Structure 1
Amino acid sequence: MSGRVVVVGAGLAGAKTVEALRAGGYDGTVTLIGTETDRPYERPPLSKGYLQGNEERDAAFVHPADWYATHDVELRPGTTVTSLDLAAHDVVDAAGGRTGWDHLVLATGSEPRRLDVPGADLDGVLYLRTLGDSDRLRAALTPGRRVVVVGGGWIGLEVAAAARSAGCDVSVLVRDPMPLLHVLGPELAAMFADLHRANGVDLRTRTEVAEVVATGDGTGVGAVVLADGTRVDADVVVVGVGAAPRVGLARDAGLTVEDGVVVSAHLRSSHPQVLAVGDIARAAHPLLGTHVRVEHWANALNQPATAAATVLGRDEPYDRLPYFFTDQYDLGMEYVGWVGPHGYDEVVVRGDVGSRELVAFWRREGRVVAGMNVNVWDVVDDVQALIRSGAVVDRDRLADPDVALADLV
């Protein structure tokens, strides 16, 4: 198949899209444009293995440096696309250059939400999104330093674990009664709160940051001041208060945007030759019966195969269940499924929360809608099958570790 595909966004989703195009037999021109000067890399190591010092920097890159030339992919790092001309089928970059396309794939990812308080721009207030961010944070995590993490989501907790492992004194500030409350609910969020406290983290809940104050000589961060006036001393402040999809290009071009670029199960946007993948894609999900946007590695890894298939004229809708994972201290976890706006009726646990070795199931009307395995491995496929089956499952059998998960379907 000839023509030209342009991919805007040179992260994991963009890199896997051009890979899938070549693997699928696309023989036209392929151009991958990214703002960052590094070649495409994966982001999980930035808050996990690489930040903790357990992985080499090169392990984060999606492909070897010569892969793009070898596969006839034009990689343009350090290039910012400023607008999309849908009528002319062009992308326009900051230098005024135009690149034409027959199909355009948007893989622009997300960006950290900023802390909007006085002092948030001080040297020593850090965010974690890019490889450069991880380099700076890794250099800052030295024994004895006082690290304050603002936010109790996955990034915040993974940074806290890395900082404690590096010998830092760590405080985590969370607005909610528990970290991860909106993701896991009170039944399992408490496990992560206990985990961090057991590892020496000063976890403060129901807190609001009012200000970041400088050191006496004004050279950097000295403390975080809470809304009640409490002062938490700090040498480093890491902000992890969520991310927002980078949809400015899509919105300005007139594509349909509703908490992400709205796309079909085949990842087509409101313009049939424009697709979206990864963090920005709010995709129709055949199994879940609604549009879902997921800001996790698995979507960036797997959606590109569907995007490439769509460009190649194949009928291969994206129907993988949302999936994410985390590693914190001695806890490894995988989560699959989607609770969604309808919520859940109960959480059923097989195993022991206290020892942090378990599989948890979120149920609605007797059916499993999501599952999480903690320090229990090789069960994700069975949990996915259980969710996909839509079967009403007996609660006692679900909780019984002597009943094989495969026997519940």
Structure 2
Amino acid sequence: MSGESSVGELGSYDVLIVGAGQAGVQTAMSLRQGGFSGSIAIVDAENELPYERPPLSKAYLRGDAEVGEFRFRSADYWAKNSIDLISGTTVESVDVEAHEVLTGMGLRIGYSHLVWAAGGRARRLTVPGADLSGVFSLRNHADAERLRGSLAGARNAVIIGGGYIGLEAAAALVQRAVSVTVIEVQERLLARVTCAAVSDFYSDLHRASGTTVLLSSGVEQILGERGHVVGVQLSDGQILPADLVIVGVGLIPNVEPLAAAGVVCTNGVEVDGDCRTSVAHIFAVGDCANYKSPFAGGMRVRLESVPNAVEHGKAVASAILSTPNEGMTPPWFWSHQFDTRLQTVGLQAGHDEAILRGEPGQSKFSIVYLRGGRVIALDCINSIADFAQGKLLVAQGTPATAEELADTSIQLKSLATKVP
């Protein structure tokens, strides 16, 4: 089924998945790969075939790729595997007693298992002018298409937020000959996810490309003329000219219908190791799922990454199929800016040591994070070997010394033979 043209009943599915991002799609594919023969449907707000989102801020924005090149699967796949796509509508409410959802078009759909994979929406600025034409977020294909279409006549772009999305967009725009200024309210870029050495490297990388990077800077208002953005006024009174503004200040998980139905939600939907929520027969996966991670000292985390979404989808399929869940592997992330690739494994929050391995000046180095003398995470810049070998160290919680880790003549995999 594709699209929705009437109000009423659509029937019921054995597994109803809300959201066609990586986590939702992975759930459906893993169920079929595991031999699940029941009915499956995916409900999604976008009216197109499911696609990967990471390329939107990279190849798509540069104009090097089109959305058709990063579809998860062809239209034939969904039909051949009897996975119904109910596109162009959102789920507005969930009735946990009746086991049904109500869509924005008034359609009621029943379920035996509900998998909430609704992801999140871009956090909006609350300053004056945030709703002007020419102010963009970058969360889905429609966002990226509007933004890319505005680049032809753009000379000056201001990007608010120095996280992954903001920096990837900055790199893409610079490569399209747009003058870019990045504004970050904190004292360094990527401050929430990495250490100062990596932040400094990326500040230098972007500045060397011609990007202006303003740190410890707030936005007072976005200025417009005739409804369109013309500039950004900072908290210190400085005014930056802008033909377009990109806001990348975080994500708000889409959990309101579940929370209203009584499902426990705190910074996302709380789930266990199988991605089960507090209500029977309801799971949550991906960007909107909040779970206790052994790689965060048992603390709850909500991770926004493709590998995390894939793991969640597989975990839910295992739970529904009653097959063994292999358990979570260390989370990992990546970002590609210019010709530089950052690969991260593990979670560095709470580290008490950060060991530099290699030379930042040569654009090839790693940071190894320790807590209590054990490896908990690595940031690897253009260092594929360290990333590949470091995964095992993080999985084991391998003990290591600063001297061992800083010595680049020692391969990290040799340390993994040590007994944790």
Q: TM-score range by the shorter chain?
A: over 0.9
8 A Cα contact 1:146 1:234, kept in partner: yes
Alpha-carbon distance in 2 for matches of 1:392, 1:13 = 33
Secondary structure of 1:134's counterpart equals helix
Partner of 1:275: 283
Determine whether 1:348 maps to 2:355.
yes
- Matched to 1:166, the amino acid is R
Partner of 1:396: 403
Secondary structure of 1:182's counterpart equals coil
Structure 2 unmatched runs, 5+ = 1-11
- Matched to 2:231, the amino acid is A
8 A Cα contact 1:187 1:347, kept in partner: no
Deviations 1:300-353 (A, max 9, x none): 23321111111111230541222110111121110010123xx21221121111
Deviations 1:193-218 (A, max 9, x none): 11111110011111111111113xx1
Counterpart selection for 2:330 from 321, 330, 350: 321
8 A Cα contact 2:160 2:247, kept in partner: yes
Q: Summarize the alignment of residues 205-284 of structure 1 with structure 2, pairs less than 5 Å apart.
A: 205-215=215-225, 218-284=226-292
Deviations 1:261-304 (A, max 9, x none): 11110111111311111001112334542332101122123321
Structure 1 unmatched runs, 5+ = none
Secondary structure of 2:336's counterpart equals strand
Counterpart selection for 2:312 from 295, 303, 327: 303
Shift of 1:370: 0.6
- Matched to 1:220, the amino acid is H
Secondary structure of 2:370's counterpart equals strand
Shift of 1:82: 0.8
Shift of 1:140: 2.2
8 A Cα contact 2:51 2:67, kept in partner: no
8 A Cα contact 1:266 1:317, kept in partner: no
Paired residue total: 404
8 A Cα contact 1:113 1:242, kept in partner: yes
Alpha-carbon distance in 1 for matches of 2:94, 2:13 = 18
Determine whether 1:312 maps to 2:321.
yes
Counterpart selection for 2:132 from 117, 122, 125: 122
Shift of the 331–143 alpha-carbon distance from structure 1 to 2, 3 Å rule, reads farther
Q: Summarize the alignment of residues 42-191 of structure 1 with structure 2, pairs less than 5 Å apart.
A: 42-142=52-152, 145-191=155-201
RMSD of aligned residue pairs (Cα, Å): 1.6
Alpha-carbon distance in 2 for matches of 1:251, 1:326 = 32
Kindly report structure 1 stretches of 4+ aligned residues shifted beyond 6 Å. Answer: none
8 A Cα contact 1:43 1:297, kept in partner: no
Secondary structure of 2:167's counterpart equals helix
Secondary structure of 1:241's counterpart equals coil
Partner of 2:43: 33
Determine whether 1:377 maps to 2:387.
no
Identity among equivalent pairs (%): 37
Q: TM-score, normalised by structure 1?
A: 0.95
Alpha-carbon distance in 1 for matches of 2:385, 2:75 = 33
Shift of the 122–143 alpha-carbon distance from structure 1 to 2, 3 Å rule, reads closer
Partner of 2:3: none
Shift of 1:143: 7.1
Secondary structure of 1:223's counterpart equals strand
Alpha-carbon distance in 1 for matches of 2:153, 2:406 = 42
Alpha-carbon distance in 1 for matches of 2:134, 2:384 = 38
8 A Cα contact 1:6 1:31, kept in partner: yes
Q: TM-score, normalised by structure 2?
A: 0.93
- Matched to 1:15, the amino acid is V
Alpha-carbon distance in 1 for matches of 2:304, 2:241 = 32
